[in-house]
């Protein structure tokens, strides 16, 4: 790309140049055309939960979205805002124009808030650390009076709905602009700044594997946010210690990186990583992807398959599995690896065991929830 000189900047623009900019703006505006809607909380929850287990819900979380990371305090603060009629940000969704999700609504921004609504109405957390409503601390949704429950469920949230003209690239661009304003560092970027060392260098080397890039495509936005090193770190953190995982993924990964920088078996980890990728290439016809149209593999799916394969190969290095498509495409695996799955030790273990035990052809070992 040629460098624009100061002389060129100072020269007045021609009518042709101005017309070209106007045409480009008009064309770009087409893919961000939108309507503003309002839905009651109860309707939003229904749109998200009905059909969730079969990946058929009208309102869904795309693969490029982050996992559920709000803790009980953050969720409580959001519910407190709704109870007190404090204004909350708009939800952003997009009408999918084609493909298997056509007509459904992809959540572009607001997945943490929507999942909080679901969790609260399903009595999955108690309100805590409320400043304006301290008398409600410790309450579940069902602890409120029936009239208050009904009023909360009728509370409406505004939603900006992008029309079906907004393609995947446009949706990801909007998500990027809403969530990465230019100064916020992602967890992996923070780790690189504070936990540099031999293990991190090893992870970054593995993250450049051409076979990994081929089998596990991710979006350009996620690549910019150091997503490949994040995936590799997750793999190495889980293969030996997934049963020790407790609540916070960020803390778990940071500890794995710190310990790895002190000491790690480079030869063993390199061999297992390469063997895992080669096995996936041979026996998973779509690699880590869910389907042929999938352009960005979610973290949960990657870690379930990658760690499950490695654990299976530890038990049987000469493993030649039966057809993998039947269980990879099963409703159970979709449920275990859907993008709204929260992280807990049983959930992490169950999705890894599902892959490991299906590959070995044995009954799946399940951890208690």
Q: Which domain holds residue 195?
A: 185-360
Do 238 and 267 lie in one domain? The reply is: yes
Cα separation of 141 and 317, whole Å? 50
Average pLDDT on 263-284 reads: 95
The fraction of the chain above a pLDDT of 90, given in percent, is: 49
Do 239 and 335 lie in one domain? The reply is: yes
CB contact at 8 A, 242 and 352: yes
Do 278 and 144 lie in one domain? The reply is: no
Please, which pLDDT band fits residue 182 given cuts at 50, 70 and 90?
very low
Tell me whether residue 24 is in a domain. no
Residue that is last in its domain, among 141, 170, 199: 170
Residue, of 73 and 163, whose pLDDT is higher: 73
| Beta-sheet strand order (sheet of 156-162) | 34-40, 156-162, 91-95, 105-109, 59-60
pLDDT at 346: 86
Do 136 and 212 lie in one domain? The reply is: no
Lowest average pLDDT, out of 26-35, 157-166, 192-201, 229-238, goes to: 26-35
Tell me whether residue 70 is in a domain. yes
Tell me whether residue 102 is in a domain. yes
Average pLDDT on 109-137 reads: 95
Residue, of 344 and 362, whose pLDDT is higher: 362
Cα separation of 287 and 271, whole Å? 19
pLDDT at 178: 62
Do 154 and 210 lie in one domain? The reply is: no
Do 124 and 210 lie in one domain? The reply is: no
pLDDT at 369: 60
Q: Provide the 8-state DSSP code for 301.
A: H
Do 247 and 155 lie in one domain? The reply is: no
Tell me whether residue 6 is in a domain. no
Tell me whether residue 366 is in a domain. no
Tell me whether residue 82 is in a domain. yes
Q: Tell which residue, 68, 54, 155, 154, has the closest CA to residue 107.
A: 68
Q: How many domains does the chain have?
A: 2
Tell me whether residue 5 is in a domain. no
pLDDT at 252: 86
Average pLDDT on 338-366 reads: 86
Judged against a pLDDT cut of 50, whether residue 2 lies above it is answered with no
Please, which pLDDT band fits residue 123 given cuts at 50, 70 and 90?
very high
Please, which pLDDT band fits residue 274 given cuts at 50, 70 and 90?
very high
CB contact at 8 A, 261 and 201: no
Render the burial of 302-330: b for 16+ CB within 10 Å, e for the rest: bbbbbbbbbbbbeeeeeeebeebeebbee
Judged against a pLDDT cut of 80, whether residue 6 lies above it is answered with no
Judged against a pLDDT cut of 60, whether residue 5 lies above it is answered with no
Do 165 and 248 lie in one domain? The reply is: no
Q: Which tokens is 145 given?
A: 């009076």
Cα separation of 346 and 258, whole Å? 24
Residue that is last in its domain, among 112, 147, 170: 170
Do 134 and 214 lie in one domain? The reply is: no
Instruction: Note the pTM of the prediction, 2 decimals.
Output: 0.61
Residue that is last in its domain, among 136, 170, 204: 170
pLDDT at 196: 67
How deeply is 301 buried, as exposed, middle or buried, from its count of CB atoms within 10 A (0-12, 13-18, 19+)?
buried
Residue, of 51 and 121, whose pLDDT is higher: 121
Do 159 and 210 lie in one domain? The reply is: no
Do 204 and 329 lie in one domain? The reply is: yes
Please, which pLDDT band fits residue 247 given cuts at 50, 70 and 90?
low
Tell me whether residue 21 is in a domain. no
Q: Provide the 8-state DSSP code for 186.
A: P
Which residues does 212 contact at the CB level (< 8 Å), separation at least 6? 206, 228, 231, 232, 277
Q: Where are the alpha helices (DSSP H) in 165-219?
A: 168-179, 187-194, 198-206, 210-215
pLDDT at 272: 97
Do 193 and 144 lie in one domain? The reply is: no
What mean pLDDT value characterizes the chain?
A: 85
């Amino acid at each position: 790309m040629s460098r624009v000189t100061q002389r060129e900047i100072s020269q007045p623009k021609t009518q042709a140049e101005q017309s070209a900019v106007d045409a480009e703006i008009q064309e770009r505006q087409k893919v961000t055309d939108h309507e503003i809607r309002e839905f009651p909380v109860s309707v939003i929850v229904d749109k998200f939960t009905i059909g969730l287990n079969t990946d058929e819900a009208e309102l869904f979380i795309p693969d490029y979205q982050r996992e559920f990371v709000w803790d009980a305090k953050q969720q409580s603060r959001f519910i407190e805002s709704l109870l007190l009629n404090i204004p909350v940000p708009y939800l952003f969704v997009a009408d999918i124009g084609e493909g298997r999700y056509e007509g459904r609504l992809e959540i572009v921004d607001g997945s943490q808030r929507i999942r909080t609504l679901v969790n609260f109405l399903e009595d999955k957390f108690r309100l805590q650390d409320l400043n304006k409503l301290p008398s409600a601390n410790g309450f579940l949704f069902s602890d409120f009076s029936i009239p208050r429950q009904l009023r909360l469920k009728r509370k409406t949230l505004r939603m900006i709905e992008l029309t079906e003209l907004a393609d995947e690239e446009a949706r990801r661009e909007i998500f990027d602009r809403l969530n990465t304003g230019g100064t916020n560092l992602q967890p992996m970027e923070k780790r690189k700044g504070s936990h540099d060392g031999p293990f991190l260098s090893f992870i970054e080397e593995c993250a450049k594997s051409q076979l990994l890039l081929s089998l596990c495509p991710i979006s350009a936005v996620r690549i910019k946010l150091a997503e490949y090193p994040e995936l590799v770190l997750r793999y190495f953190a889980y293969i030996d210690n997934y049963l020790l995982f407790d609540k916070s993924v960020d803390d778990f990964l940071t500890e794995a990186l710190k310990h790895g920088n002190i000491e790690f078996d480079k030869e063993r980890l390199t061999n297992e990583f390469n063997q895992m990728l080669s096995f996936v290439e041979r026996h998973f016809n779509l690699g880590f992807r869910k389907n042929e149209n999938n352009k960005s593999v979610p973290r949960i799916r990657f870690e379930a398959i990658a760690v499950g394969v490695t654990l299976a190969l530890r038990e049987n290095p000469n493993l030649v599995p039966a057809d993998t498509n039947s269980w990879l495409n099963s409703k159970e695996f979709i449920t275990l690896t859907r993008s709204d799955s929260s992280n807990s030790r049983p959930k992490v273990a169950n999705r890894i065991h599902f892959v490991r035990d299906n590959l070995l052809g044995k009954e799946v070992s399940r951890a208690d929830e």
